[in-house]
A and B are shown apart, each in its own frame.
Chain A
Amino acid sequence: MGLSQLATRALFRSTRLAAANPHHILRRAIVSTPELHNSEAAAAEAQPEPDLPKRTPVAGARVHFPNPDDAIEVFVDGYPVKIPKGMTVLQACEIAGVDIPRFCYHSRLSIAGNCRMCLVEVEKSPKPVASCAMPALPGMKIKTDTPLAKKAREGVMEFLLMNHPLDCPICDQGGECDLQDQSMAFGSDRGRFTEMKRSVVDKNLGPLVKTVMTRCIQCTRCVRFATEIAGVQDLGMLGRGSGEEIGTYVEKLMTSELSGNVIDICPVGALTSKPFAFKARNWELKGTESIDVTDAVGSNIRIDSRGPEVMRILPRLNEEINEEWISDKTRFFYDGLKRQRLNDPMIRGPDGRFKAVSWRDALAVVAEVIHQVKPEEIVGVAGKLSDAESMMALKDFLNKMGSNNIWCEGNGPNPNADLRSGYIMNTSISGLEKADVFLLVGTQPRVEAAMVNARIRKTVRATNARVGYIGPAADFNYDHEHLGTGPETLTELAEGRHPFSSALSNAKSPVVIVGAGIFQRKDKDAIFSVVETIAKNINAVRPDWNGLNVLLLNAAQAAALDLGLVPESDKSLESAKLVYLMGADDENLDKIPDDAFVVYQGHHGDRGVYRANVILPASTFTEKEGTYANTEGCAQTTVPAVPTVGDSRDDWKIIRALSEVAGVSLPYDTLNGIRSRISTVAPNLLHADEREPATFSTSSLRPEVKEKLDKATFTSAVENFYMTDSITRASKIMAQCSALLLKK
């Protein structure tokens, strides 16, 4: 079967998406197709002189005028552009459609201005100016293509290459290296350097980032990333002149959960991926645009694969969700996709050992058993990585068998699926930037959702927003106030007795984030009602602002609640005779009675397999097309990047086939069929890449909560950031990270 088939599928999908919904592409991705530019950009382009060729902004760069009076006009190569005050010369050139070469400048980091590659000529200025650091002034005449500018770049390039090793053939950055590309475009054709090149000792930054410090050109992007975005003061610049080096000041590993991003922002091969070192070249990889399922954020990723193997994972730009960063777990768990995989259907024999059988036999056994037990003794548990399609199929199948005991792990024994606003992040991830006070209740976003944490940090850095935290002692990378550890602090806040209450009630746009770890507590409803009281007191929910949020933990949770995967009774697992685990490994398996028949459908030989009687091998998210809703309620789909392993099948197909063998055929046998079924239950799951806010956000519809608050303090929901699900637990790199980087 072909990779080509996969490729055409992916292609078909993307074209279909583009045709169906041009608006969201315009809003979400930055593309340079001319017809997709919005009106603002078109307006900014002013009227070109007739003799000048029409130019389009670099990479679809757009301008936003906060105040129309602040617009100034500059001329780039004689071409007039209107830009807001305060933009730099480099940004003005981008709007004008001129790409200025640069190494140290990065649009999301502060300006350093130390590489000097972006030199341009400005009229009436005696010397070429560094465009990234120079503010554009009204009427400025910028020339990017003059002999002076070219010569300046050539000179800078020669200096940079003086001490840069000539090891491109063995460098992992080769082929996607800014220095390589720009030396071809702007460099001289010869060098005049005959002395010895300098060499720098490599630093050990841990198991993820490989350093070859001799290649470093001291752009300091990594230092600025670490201090500004990741919030760790680990990296810095040592020495001066030719002795200048990037390093950790003392022998120390980089302990940020975002450290992998320095690999992407490094313009040369100084910081590269350690697990990917010498594994592949970027031009032999096939990129597939997919999403991440290891947490509930749904970061947009590109899966680079070679043949049947996932070689690496890179972030994809999505301003609403992950900007252009991803967490280390997302970036490096991929080696878990190759280990501990279930290949064949298996049945546990009387001797307790698994024996590989054919699909026909395995399904026949399950179908036989399922007819022998009473309907109310059938229990289905969807795992934390399940896609919406398979959860829909599982629910339909079990309902047809007469059971309604089905839930998704992590949602707790008695989930509240009635009001969508009660389990999603209503503010939206990008909306967090507008907040001025945060209250984190029983959640540690740094380990539960690293990208949400990065967003909070961005807000705290930009606006000095205050952060109050209730929960066990935790590690934060921004200023926060630890208010307490348990529900009694919540009560104090609700009654206004706590010092932090005044900060909350004075806030214009307060944000309360409740962690999904609370779902597991007995007094969950009481906690939520106290939190709602707080939200009411501080006016957090109003028509123009909804600051009451739940931060989910797993990729499947939101979709499961959308689809109504709610168990009939919370004690059903204890009395079950047939348990259908669809990738569920973190449910308490000791609760399953000894005589129960356990079917494990999943892709990894993880905890669930130890208790299973029958194993049905399924495909991972890199091998199937599946819909996932993230914590803010944005539905996104994965795209198959690699073929399935062994004899495994897609999750929904297994359930569809099993239903037929069991004699209760489900009425759909294509992905589109199952999606039209989903559209009758949760239509929001079909609006891919679009955030669907909750329609109601009121708590008044809820019944009065009778139960009392428990005195027990909140616990941390995620013990080990690097190992949260079956794929990451199978990953060797994640095991190394847990051993070396976790704070003990």
Chain B
Amino acid sequence: MASTLKYVRVPPNSANLAEARRRVFEFFKTACRSIPTIMEIYNLDDVVTPSQLRSTISSEIRKNAHVTNTKVIDMLLFKGTEELSNIVEHAKQRHHILGQYVLGREHLTQDVGTKDQGTLDFLKNFYKSNYF
């Protein structure tokens, strides 16, 4: 038991917000450095450019910009690292990358926003599908 635990390296909690912030930047840099590998193993050259991927990574990070709790930041960092290692180790397939990071999640839900406000149920349902 003790011997397996030895290899799992969970970094100690960040002591303060500054340390957590530094760790986030480190993670971002690691992720950016692995972009060429990712481009190669998933054969993404013809669908996306490195800079687009970089901005996707940063927007994923910025999504949680409002978090101030260091414990939560550490947890999110851990999840991010896990995702990154999964991608780099080719534990995912091309369509995962395409779906999540190239196309984004927006295309799955169309017509979101404020345009529908004020219209009645019939029109709202009509835009959604034929069956209501």
Q: Which residues of A contact B (CB under 8 A)?
A: 1, 5, 358-360, 619, 643-644, 648-650, 653, 656-657, 660-661, 665, 669
Contact = CB atoms under 8 A, between A and B. Distances in A.
Contact of B115 (A360, A619, A649, A669): A360
A660 B122 CA distance: 9
Interface residues of B, number: 13
B110 interface: yes
A5 B131 contact: yes
8 contacts: A1-B131, A360-B111, A360-B127, A648-B130, A649-B126, A653-B126, A656-B122, A669-B122
Contacts of A619: 130
Contact of A660 (B111, B119, B130, B131): B119
Contact of A359 (B121, B122, B127): B127
Contacts of B126: 359, 649, 653, 656-657
B123 A657 contact: yes
B129 A358 contact: no
Interface of B: 110-111, 115, 119-123, 126-127, 129-131
A359 B122 CA distance: 13
A649 B130 contact: yes
B130 to A, nearest CB: 5
Contact of A661 (B110, B123, B131): B123
B107 to A, nearest CB: 13
Contacts of B129: 1
Given A660-B122, A660-B123, A650 B111 contact: no
A603 B120 CA distance: 26
A359 B120 CA distance: 15
A653 B123 contact: no
A653 B127 CA distance: 11
Nearest to A360: B127
A10 to B, nearest CB: 13
B130 A653 contact: yes
Contacts of B111: 358, 360
Contacts of A5: 131
A650 B123 CA distance: 13
Given A358-B110, A669-B122, 17 more contacts: A1-B129, A5-B131, A358-B127, A359-B126, A359-B127, A360-B115, A643-B131, A644-B130, A648-B130, A650-B130, A653-B126, A653-B130, A657-B123, A660-B120, A660-B122, A660-B123, A669-B121
Contacts of B131: 1, 5, 643
Contacts of B110: 358
Nearest to B127: A359
A649 B126 CA distance: 8
B24 to A, nearest CB: 38
A666 B110 CA distance: 27
A649 B127 CA distance: 9
Nearest to A657: B126
A653 B126 CA distance: 7
Contacts of B130: 619, 644, 648-650, 653
A2 B110 CA distance: 20
Contacts of A1: 129, 131
Nearest to A648: B130
A657 B123 CA distance: 6
B127 to A, nearest CB: 5
A643 B123 CA distance: 20
A359 B110 CA distance: 11
A669 B131 CA distance: 13
Contacts of A360: 111, 115, 127
A649 B110 CA distance: 17
A652 to B, nearest CB: 11
A660 B118 CA distance: 12
Contacts of B122: 656-657, 660, 669
Contacts of A358: 110-111, 127
A624 B131 CA distance: 10
Nearest to A359: B127
Contacts of B120: 660, 665
A212 to B, nearest CB: 41
Nearest to B129: A1
A660 B131 CA distance: 18
A648 B129 CA distance: 9
B55 to A, nearest CB: 26
A644 B119 CA distance: 24
A527 B130 CA distance: 45
Nearest to B131: A1
Residue of B122, B127, B130 contacting most chain A CB atoms (<10 Å): B130
